[in-house]
Structure 1
């Protein structure tokens, strides 16, 4: 019983899939790339993307070099050796 249901389901799915591919071929809404990559973009797009990426990395690295306080904070780290026992929570003996 279960086997016959499975075969019927597979046949139904095959019919549905066949109909979908036929409908999609008729519409021609977009190109289909099965196991093949899309065509490469034009040369000016590649060059423009490289320029924009280069500028973005320059911007980030330049600001990390000149203004590290934005990342690491703009304060002096306190010297732990100068903290008192009370500040550390150590009870007095």
Structure 2
């Protein structure tokens, strides 16, 4: 029984040693993709084309909002005229009649 347990442990150790020796010869992996790390420092300025695209997309967004507010304002305020509450009956308001006890 001790031999069967030792074989599994030996396989685990050998696989660990093999993986270590393979990764030691490789260059370190960098997953930053040219990102600049800023920790407790001001962020560096963005590239000019990114600022221009952000301004352009922001302008398009605000044009879209104001265009629809001007031409389709019924979506905001409602498309039907507001009912006059003074014309509602007691029954519609859920008020019981006066002669009921």
TM range (shorter): 0.5 to 0.7
Aligned to 2:69: 64
Structure with max Cα Rg: 2
Task: Name whichever structure is richer in helix by fraction.
Answer: 1
The total of aligned residue pairs comes to 68
Residues in 2 aligned to 1:60 and 1:90: alpha-carbon distance in whole angstroms? 43
TM (norm. structure 2) is: 0.56
TM (norm. structure 1) is: 0.60
Stretches of structure 1 lacking an aligned partner (at least 5 in a row): 1-25
Provide runs of 4+ in structure 1 moved above 4 Å.
none
- C-alpha displacement at 1:54, in angstroms? 0.8
- C-alpha displacement at 1:88, in angstroms? 1.0
Aligned to 1:53: 58
Supply the RMSD in Å over aligned alpha carbons: 1.9
Aligned to 2:21: none
Residues in 1 aligned to 2:39 and 2:81: alpha-carbon distance in whole angstroms? 58
Stretches of structure 2 lacking an aligned partner (at least 5 in a row): 1-27
